A and B are shown apart, each in its own frame.
Chain A
Amino acid sequence: MGAVAEAPLTIHLRPGYHVNSNMPSDEYLIPLRLTWNAGPLETSDVVFPKPSLEKYAFSEKPLSVFSGDFEIRTRFKVAANAPAGPAVMTGKLRYQACNDRMCLAPKTLDVSLPVEVVK
């Protein structure tokens, strides 16, 4: 009980595309979000990399974005009542991507992380 671990989620964006960061520049922009469902592990923190501030033709001010390859790291700790053995943590990744001329619809992806709690 109380053990902690950190798991990275690696994301690869195609050249020319970006996603809004977890803290976008404007309230109308859809932020990047990684959320986890309840499970044998408790989520302590979801850590995003430092975003870039990029200026695009369609924006008056620089936007806070991620592009290229980056990682989102989740810090977990074992729940007090977690049973030993294999399990799966599930969650959702919500994102919205654009290039410099157009935007794609926001998407939500299911994510799953197989884990094993060892006593």
Chain B
Amino acid sequence: MEIVFTRFKWAVLAAALAFVLAGCSKLSHSPADAAVKSDQDRKPAPAFSLTDEHGTPVSLADYRGKVVLLNFWATWCGPCQIEIPWFIEFEQKYKDRDFAVLGVSFDDDGWKSVRPYIASHKINYRVMIGTEKMSQLYGGVDSLPTTFIVDRQGRIAAQHVGLVDKSDYQNEILKLLADQKRAAGDSAPGSLAGLLRPDQRP
């Protein structure tokens, strides 16, 4: 008895196995993406409601008035692991200045992998398990890490696909934190803006 392979090029394959997946992802990291968008170019960050590691609901709306770094990641993602210590540092450094990091994991096995990871890496910010819906809300997240910086008005001020320099994040966060201080100053009692009703302000 013998085996005859009717074809040596197996069915299914090759186009898929040429890993055109590479062409299905957002590959480029344009310099423009690294910069904070101008006020008029910022779009509202899609609303979401997930559950953190303690079972507590988390909504982006809860963070209105704060600058949020929203990071999509996974335990199997090497570049993500480089960034996470930075985010831990940012959370510690800026949490009293109306800033928060939110992590959204796309680990297929969910909390089974993520909970031990949170503990072993001493993650000090809230982490949720992402869903396909969440991915689609944010433009179809197919590369990790993908990170959005959300301003106090709940708008996407910057986004990054792939590993970037820590200083990029730091500069963006500080700029957005400072923006509010300036805005708050404009609305302070005694200022012209402060004399106007909110609907009258430019």
Contacts and interface: CB of A to CB of B under 8 A. Distances in A.
Contact of B163 (A29, A102, A116, A117): A102
A110 to B, nearest CB: 6
Query: What DSSP secondary structure best describes chain A's contact surface?
Result: strand
Contact of B10 (A1, A13, A76, A112): A112
A4 B4 CA distance: 10
- Interface size grouping (class) on chain B: 35 or more
Given A1-B1, A116-B3, A102 B14 contact: no
A47 interface: no
B1 A2 contact: yes
A43 B147 CA distance: 43
A115 to B, nearest CB: 6
Given A58-B79, A58-B81, A103-B80, A86 B1 contact: no
Interface in A18-67: 19, 28-30, 41, 56-59, 63
Contacts of A115: 3-6
Contacts of A5: 2-3, 5
Contact of B22 (A17, A84, A114): A17
A9 B142 contact: no
Interface of A: 1-5, 7-14, 16-17, 19, 28-30, 41, 56-59, 63, 76, 78, 82, 84, 86, 88, 93, 95-99, 101-107, 109-119
5 contacts: A59-B78, A98-B79, A106-B76, A106-B108, A117-B1
